[in-house]
Structure 1
Amino acid sequence: MEINNFIDILFKKAEERCIENFEIYYTSSKSSSIKVFNQEVDSYSDSNSQGISFRLIEKGKMGYSYTESISEKEIDFLINEALENAAIIENDDIEEIYKGEEEYKELELYNPDLETVSIGDKISLLMNTEKITKELDSRIKRVNYCVFGNGSSTRIIKNSKGLNLSEKGNSAYVYVSVVAEDNGITKSGSGFKVSNDFSLFDADTVAKDAVEDAVSKLNPVSIESKQYKVIIKNKAFASMLGAFTGIFSSDNVQKGVSKLKEKLGASIASSKVTLIDNPHMKNGMASSSFDAEGVPTKYKEIVKNGILTSYLYNLKTAKKDGVKSTGNASKGGYKGTLGISPSNFYMKEGETTFNELLESIDNGVLITSLSGLHSGLNSISGDFSLASEGFVISEGEISSSLKQITISGNFFELLKEINLLGDDLNFGLSPVGAPSVLISNLNISAD
């Protein structure tokens, strides 16, 4: 059955059963990926998924139901299941179906031209990328992974309060991973590009990035374990920031599992630090005009010049604090329950070039990647101990690569130790971004 017909019938039946407060939430996605290896197509995958959820308020309680089957026989099931679930809910949270707003930001999230790119053109891009990668440097011994992926998604929210929203988006990526070897030492590196404009995918650039990343790590040296002045490169710092975004969730604050509780208006970072949640960013991976409850999204500075100005809210947590939702309600697909997530979340860049950051350090360390982010940090206390890769900075220049090191400290203290911000904001493969940052002191242990 066509989805709009299904929604119309479900809507009509809910009204016929005198349900006054209900919402229909639909998502669908399509994705495909192609991988090449040694100038041959190694694998191809293509997948489609869709589902619909129904939620209602009955006697002040919210009931949920969902199905993957878009057929008329599922409609009574959705209504009955939601009613039954509402009857057994025991919490006293005040629930709400959102009536919507008159204006929503119009965003260009979908590029129809991306859907017309042929499989042959995608394969040609990958073949060229793999070929160029192998030819750039004799120390590149193999290309482990060379893949192109693309996907599109559709989201619809319609409810009994008059809300009727829909949004469609698409995106693609190319990614290559290589292994370099010299003097018995092997190092890996990668390059990638994300966009919904196929004309922006350039084999030469992606290949060059991967090769430079790998060969720069060869012939590493050891350093003494102590405190160093450190530059954390943009992608590495973005990965750390991403691991701590939960501290800004009002739900975590209200539950007492965020150290930012009762910190509104207080200084929590260097005055150079501004943290932004921007759901309207052009080509942003998490851009959207409305959140999972149909609340309009908006640009906001969560931390401004080091001062905490707001938490991230959905309708329920906003009601508890007596404020408006910030448009950050989220759902992990049609099956998911409502939560809170940032959109395109990033630290505002500075005006200092990366080379100028380097030149400000006589002797120090450049951190280029972090691992163990799920096991090596505590998002509640802020403490972290992370395996890292990087380089020695000597007289303002990058010199030798480093054998594996471990950086340790506390994220909340780290925010206060930021002395300079680069102008090189980067998001990598995530909707969380950051520029390179200069930290006055950081503990480094040599393995």
Structure 2
Amino acid sequence: MTYQDIINLGLKKGISEIELYAKTSTDKTLKVFNGSLESYNAKELYSLSIRGLYNGKMGYASCESLNENVINEALDKLITSCGLLTSTEVEEIFGEKVEYEKLEEVFSDATLYPLSEKIELLKSLEQETLASDERIKKIGYCQYVETEGKVEIINSKGINLHRNFSYIVVVLGALGMENGQTNVGYVHQIETSFKNINKEKLIKDVVEKTVSGLCAGSVKTGEYPVVLEQEVATDLIQAFSSLFSGYAAMKNMTMLNGKKGEKVFGDNITLIDDPFCETSLIKVAFDDEAYPCKKRNVVENGVFTGFYHSLKTAKFFNEAPTGNGFRSGNQIIPSPTNLYMLPGEYSKEQLFEGISEGVLITEVGGLHAGLNVVAGTFNIQSSGYMIRDGKKAEPVTLFVVSGNFFDMLNNVEKIGNDLPEKINDVAIPSLLVKGLMISGK
């Protein structure tokens, strides 16, 4: 069936408004192990999510085929689900005639390079990583993935949009051993251009991550000035990013409720949600509800400017949508496009200056298990280095960093200048926090 056939059938069944969200993707995955190609897989995926208004209720259904019988069954399930709903929340399907940002589509150049060159890249990554440090004993993970696909949104109110996506991911993982101790390190790079894959940096970074945890000591329990390395700062703020969501506000699951226009973080904190960011891997002109996206400061100089909204949460709060209605399964959950923190002027070495004794955190584990997002608290197992007399010192591991998200972002003394060259979802530079509790020995 065509998409228009599906819409016509839904309308015939009594669905007053109907929307189709189709996603097609192709993944090609290469793995190398012990100098040989271990596996090569190519798979194509297709999914169709249908939502529609039936007797004033929004129902949802999904399928993986355009077969007429499958579509009929999906539409009937949608109608049945509407009869079971007791929620009074108002939902709608967008159909206004609006202008969308004109974006130049960026396509990966992966198809221009032969398979043999990609295999050779992985083989050389494995071989050169093993040769770079005698403490590296094994390469446990050496993988290349290229993904391309398309999202289409078509509805009964005249919307017919599509956007493409394509990117390359390289993942490298190593096992290190010294004096009976072992440690594992992983790094990855996401790119749109094969020629931009930085083999030397991948090797350097995975070796550093792996060997830094060998023969690591412990930290004496106490409060320390803490430098959160860029990846750690990104992971931590990404884990708390739902606090800025209109869905969390609607469910009363964020401490930012009622704080629009108020100062919630330090003056040096500005968080920007930019769907058109020049350095982002994926740029979007519209969200998954076909509403136009826009660049906005979620936090400006410490002041919270408002939640990111879908059509549903915007209507609930009687505010304008922000173009952040993105899908999580069948549900539409307000989420950021490309959220990043305005970087500072400090190099990582300058972040250490003036610290007589502190901690640099380079790895965190079990992130979500150690978070209470609603309360804004975290207790996370970590590893990294001591900072002594303004310099990175000995490695330390198996300690827990604890704090409160709001207190932390009110006590950022310096912001690094190391925002990633490529932004993917969330990107935060390294941060020097005045004091966080470290639980060690």
Normalising by structure 2, we get a TM-score of: 0.94
Checking the alignment, whether the CA contact within 8 Å between 1:52 and 1:67 is kept in structure 2 is yes
Offset at residue 15 of structure 1 (A)? 4.8
Aligned equivalent of 2:149, options 147, 150, 153: 153
- 2:434 corresponds in structure 1 to 440
SS of the residue corresponding to residue 364 of structure 1 reads strand
- 2:387 corresponds in structure 1 to 393
SS of the residue corresponding to residue 128 of structure 1 reads helix
| Aligned pairs (5 A) from 1:173-252 | 173-252=169-248
- 2:132 corresponds in structure 1 to 136
Q: Which amino acid aligns with 2:78?
A: A
- 1:344 corresponds in structure 2 to 338
Please report the RMSD computed on the Cα atoms of aligned residues, expressed in angstroms.
Answer: 2.0
Offset at residue 428 of structure 1 (A)? 8.7
Offset at residue 262 of structure 1 (A)? 0.7
Show structure 1 runs of 5+ residues with no match: none
The 1-side partners of 2:287 and 2:236 are apart by 25
| Aligned pairs (5 A) from 1:229-308 | 229-282=225-278, 284-285=280-281, 287-308=283-304
Checking the alignment, whether the CA contact within 8 Å between 1:427 and 1:434 is kept in structure 2 is no
Offset at residue 407 of structure 1 (A)? 0.8
The 2-side partners of 1:238 and 1:385 are apart by 16
The 2-side partners of 1:377 and 1:75 are apart by 41
Q: Which amino acid aligns with 1:135?
A: A
Q: Which amino acid aligns with 1:382?
A: G
Q: Residues 399-438 of structure 1, C-alpha deviation per residue, up to 9 Å, x if partnerless?
A: 1111321111111111111111001113899522111111
Structure 2 residue 3 is matched with structure 1 residue 7: yes
Relative to structure 2, which stretch is displaced further, 436-445 or 15-24?
15-24
The 2-side partners of 1:192 and 1:46 are apart by 20
The 2-side partners of 1:181 and 1:100 are apart by 61
The 2-side partners of 1:112 and 1:357 are apart by 36
The 1-side partners of 2:80 and 2:417 are apart by 54
Structure 2 residue 103 is matched with structure 1 residue 107: yes
The 1-side partners of 2:312 and 2:140 are apart by 46
The 2-side partners of 1:308 and 1:411 are apart by 14
The 1-side partners of 2:33 and 2:14 are apart by 59
Structure 2 residue 374 is matched with structure 1 residue 411: no
The 2-side partners of 1:205 and 1:186 are apart by 22
Q: Check 1:385–1:16 CA distance in 2 against 1; reply closer, same or farther (3 A cut).
A: closer
Offset at residue 285 of structure 1 (A)? 4.5
The 2-side partners of 1:346 and 1:19 are apart by 40
Q: Residues 364-383 of structure 1, C-alpha deviation per residue, up to 9 Å, x if partnerless?
A: 11111111211111001112
Normalising by structure 1, we get a TM-score of: 0.93
- 1:381 corresponds in structure 2 to 375
The 2-side partners of 1:291 and 1:257 are apart by 23
- 1:63 corresponds in structure 2 to 59
Offset at residue 53 of structure 1 (A)? 2.3
Relative to structure 2, which stretch is displaced further, 172-181 or 17-26?
17-26
| Aligned pairs (5 A) from 1:316-331 | 316-331=312-327
Q: Which amino acid aligns with 2:314?
A: A
Identity %: 31
Checking the alignment, whether the CA contact within 8 Å between 1:285 and 1:344 is kept in structure 2 is no
Show structure 2 runs of 5+ residues with no match: none
Checking the alignment, whether the CA contact within 8 Å between 2:191 and 2:281 is kept in structure 1 is no
SS of the residue corresponding to residue 32 of structure 2 reads strand
The 2-side partners of 1:375 and 1:212 are apart by 26
SS of the residue corresponding to residue 73 of structure 1 reads helix
